[in-house]
Structure 1
Amino acid sequence: MNAAPILLAYTAAVGGLAPYLMLRSSWPYRAPVLALAVWHTLAVAFSLGVALTLSNLAMPTEHLHAGVMGVLHSCGLDVGVTHPDPGTAHRLAVALPASVGLTLLAGFAFHLVRAHRARTRQREALDLVGRHSPGLRATVVPYDVPAAYCLPGRRPRIVVSDAAVRRLTARQLDAVLEHEAAHIAGRHHLVLAAVEAFHSVFRRVPLARHAREQTALLLEMIADDRALRSHSHEALVTAMYEMAAARAPKGAFAAGGETVLIRLRRILGPRRTPHPALGLTVASTTTGVLLLPLLLMCPPGLT
């Protein structure tokens, strides 16, 4: 028996049911690093499920009428012989899953290049209108709204508006700068490019849509937690409130923006430390989810 139906059911569950369970859970915002790892593991598991399903469909089997080759033959398409050629089927079994991986890699490269070009244009504009502040280790730009963002990459840069410098206290400004430095140090632009690539390939899948949204939010929470290691909750919260209306240019990470309200509630709410068993439980479950399609490929009863 071919494993394709089981793999297809597994892939559908990862793509549709898993994101629903994640969104209904209360722990991800308490452990954003762990939650981010789970979302990306689910994306890998879904991609692997799609690739292995295609591989199984391409393999000639009696139960599925020679897989993809049998379907082509039954539709009247010339596949070269009366019965599907096993050699061609095996080549398809390699080429189809490989195309999934190559498409995802191409999407990742595309989003990296596009974001890099946007940041390059932004740096060129900053060189014209901004001034470097050695004390802040940031570029200050004339803008009448308090704002701060960073341009990650090989030539990272933190940008703050002169309104932010005037209106924020020294502690507030330091907290904001630490938040932006966390994005740069964590290479968050690579994480975002990966999930953008997954979304561009599987944009109609609920997992792709929710993983993209949650990744952006969780990266901001991770940067918030980094800033809270050395700054008070009050300093960061009040700074975020001041910059809630600010927007970042394309390819940048901003301390303000659309996620501010959720992040403010998280910081101001009860700070419950995740139970030590949570990490082990989540890690074990996601590892099992990731390995399951590989086990389904050759179970004893299906060979």
Structure 2
Amino acid sequence: MTAALALLGYALLVGVLAPLPLARARWTHRAPRLAVALWQGLTLSFVTALVLAAHHLAVPGVHLHLGLAGLMHLCGVDHPGGLLATGPGQAWRLLLPAAAAAWPLGRYAAVLVRTARHRRRHRTLLDLVAARDPRLGAHVLDHDTPAAYCLPGRRARIVLTRGALDLLTPQQLAAVLAHERAHVAGRHHLARTAADALAAAFPFLPLARLAARETPLLLEMAADDRAVRRHPRTVLAAAMYRVAGGPVPQSAFAAGGTAALLRVRRLLAPAAAPHPALRAAAALTAAAAPVLPLLFTCGPVVP
């Protein structure tokens, strides 16, 4: 019971208190990829703590113990008194930890399937109404409104409207294409799906709500950063301004979008990168957070 209470307290800390300073931090817009990794690390840490708490509630007698041995012994599962020793008649004890793990994983799978279905339908429609331009590596829609977006996934599509082609200069067009390719190459849709799934599984949890709000913007900024490696910031900013108002499917990544003004300001007035010590601390936290519940609460059963 002590271990379960400790894990629930840790989950409360990660799910309620830790996201608040991260959402208000100023450095995240200067290192968006690192910030996304930190949001994902907190998410995995919360889910791990929740599942382990359920395990300790289902199997009394696994005491709080500090050590790496818990990693090797599945947090008491293969110890005397663990789940494997309960016998066929006690298999019901598996239900609580299994449900704690299945709920967020099931929501992730559901969101992944739903968004994949939407993208598949949109790809089918694009193949019918859009013309592929091999030179651009994109599909062109015959529409006057300037817009640019990508449908990520295994069969990714980069989409431009005829209005965008008429409005953008060659340099601006190249910058927009680089931005959209960055989304595809970085598999940004997986991080966005994880954030959306956590929000669907725990809609009232601050971690879930804030991660779902911050992750899409951070991914757009990460794509901007990759695009400006080869293209001037002013060129990408001007292109974003010109396509900001174009319609975009819900499951797509857009070069413009509602946060375009914030991103344009960020491009035109770039801030210094976070201090190396801060970057190191954030990276260490992102890597360590998922295993902290194991390191601090799992170990051999104390007789």
**Normalised-by-shorter TM-score class:** 0.7 to 0.9
Matched, 1:102 2:131: no
Equivalent in the alignment of 1:277? 277
Change (3 A) 1:150 1:62: closer
Change (3 A) 1:129 1:265: same
TM-score (norm 2): 0.85
- Does structure 1 conserve the Cα–Cα contact (< 8 Å) formed by 2:56 and 2:62? no
1:299 CA displacement? 7.3
For 1:90 and 1:262, how far apart are their aligned partners in 2? 56
1:171-192 Cα offsets, whole Å, 9 max, x none, are 1111001101111111112222
Counterpart of 2:212 in structure 1: which amino acid?
R
Change (3 A) 1:266 1:59: same
Q: Which has the higher contact order (CA 8 A, sep 6+)?
A: 2
Q: What pairs with 1:1-303 in structure 2 (closer than 5 Å)? A: 2-60=2-60, 91=91, 94-298=94-298
Change (3 A) 1:89 1:33: farther
Change (3 A) 1:126 1:301: closer
Where structure 1 has 5 or more consecutive residues not aligned to the other structure, the ranges are 64-85
What SS is found at the alignment partner of 1:13? helix
TM-score (norm 1): 0.85
For 2:88 and 2:266, how far apart are their aligned partners in 1? 55
For 2:27 and 2:175, how far apart are their aligned partners in 1? 25
- Does structure 2 conserve the Cα–Cα contact (< 8 Å) formed by 1:3 and 1:296? no
1:95 CA displacement? 3.1
1:278 CA displacement? 2.3
Change (3 A) 1:110 1:301: closer
What SS is found at the alignment partner of 2:150? strand
Equivalent in the alignment of 1:74? none
For 2:31 and 2:302, how far apart are their aligned partners in 1? 39
What SS is found at the alignment partner of 1:121? helix
What SS is found at the alignment partner of 1:41? helix
For 1:209 and 1:241, how far apart are their aligned partners in 2? 28
1:272-299 Cα offsets, whole Å, 9 max, x none, are 0222222321123344443332234247
For 2:276 and 2:93, how far apart are their aligned partners in 1? 42
Q: Give the number of aligned pairs.
A: 282
Change (3 A) 1:298 1:116: closer
- Please say which of residues 181-190 and 289-298 is displaced more in the overlay: 289-298
1:9 CA displacement? 1.4
- Does structure 1 conserve the Cα–Cα contact (< 8 Å) formed by 2:179 and 2:227? yes
State the 4+ residue runs in structure 1 displaced beyond 4 angstroms.
86-93, 298-303
For 1:271 and 1:30, how far apart are their aligned partners in 2? 7
1:99 CA displacement? 2.2
Equivalent in the alignment of 2:81? none
Change (3 A) 1:120 1:301: closer
1:197 CA displacement? 1.8
For 2:268 and 2:88, how far apart are their aligned partners in 1? 61
What SS is found at the alignment partner of 1:56? helix
Counterpart of 2:56 in structure 1: which amino acid?
N
- Does structure 1 conserve the Cα–Cα contact (< 8 Å) formed by 2:111 and 2:196? yes
1:93 CA displacement? 5.0
1:301 CA displacement? 12
Where structure 2 has 5 or more consecutive residues not aligned to the other structure, the ranges are 64-85
1:5 CA displacement? 1.9
For 1:94 and 1:195, how far apart are their aligned partners in 2? 27
Change (3 A) 1:93 1:160: same
- Does structure 2 conserve the Cα–Cα contact (< 8 Å) formed by 1:244 and 1:260? yes
- Does structure 2 conserve the Cα–Cα contact (< 8 Å) formed by 1:247 and 1:256? no
- Does structure 2 conserve the Cα–Cα contact (< 8 Å) formed by 1:7 and 1:296? no
- Does structure 1 conserve the Cα–Cα contact (< 8 Å) formed by 2:132 and 2:140? yes
For 1:11 and 1:153, how far apart are their aligned partners in 2? 32
For 1:263 and 1:62, how far apart are their aligned partners in 2? 50
- Does structure 2 conserve the Cα–Cα contact (< 8 Å) formed by 1:8 and 1:53? yes
What SS is found at the alignment partner of 1:249? coil
